[in-house]
Structure formats: structure tokens, C-alpha cells
Amino acid sequence: MAATLLDSAMGAAVHSTLPQGSGYATLEVKFNLVRPITADTGRVLAEGRVIHGGKTVATSEAGLRDSAGKLLAHGTSTCLLR
């Protein structure tokens, strides 16, 4: 679940910078699980941002936090732009 949320946040960050009609494909994803995520964790927030937006490749990062702001997981992604 954490990997899916991080990948979605990183992809959405990249996608939000592209012109209409453009797309991307994920080339690589890496993530680190920092704390366990259980049913007791409650709501989580995934937030992504673009690190580099080039002509053919973009990189992004994301963090997953609990409602108290504690880091649960973080990751990076490389996307191929088209």
C-alpha cells in the first residue's frame, strides 16, 4: 500500500507539470519504509514533488506521513516523458 501511494504521488507530481496531451511512464521507483503502517495508523497523507523536470526524463520524490506528521515512508521515482 505504501509503495502504491508513493508511486501515485510521485507520478501525479510529474504529470501535473506536463503539457496537455503529454504522458509519462515510470522507469524506476525506490522507496523506504520508516515506520509500520497498520489499521491503527489511521489516515495517511502522500505528498509528492518534482525534483527535476527535463525534456525526456523527470525525477520526483514523495513522503507518506500520518495525521501527526510522522514520516512513515519516502521514495524517489524516475519517469520517461513523451
In tens, the pLDDT along 11-67 reads 999 999 999 999 999 999 999 999 999 999 999 999 999 999 999 999 999 999 999
| List of residues 6+ apart from 31 with CB closer than 8 A | 2, 3, 6, 7, 73, 74, 75, 76
Q: Which of 62, 64, 13, 73 is nearest to 43 (CA)?
A: 64
pTM: predicted TM-score of the whole model, two decimal places: 0.94
Q: Please spell the DSSP secondary structure of 8-64, one letter per residue.
A: HHHHHHHHTTSPTT--EEEEEEEEEE-S---GGG--EEEEEEEEEE-SSEEEEEEEE
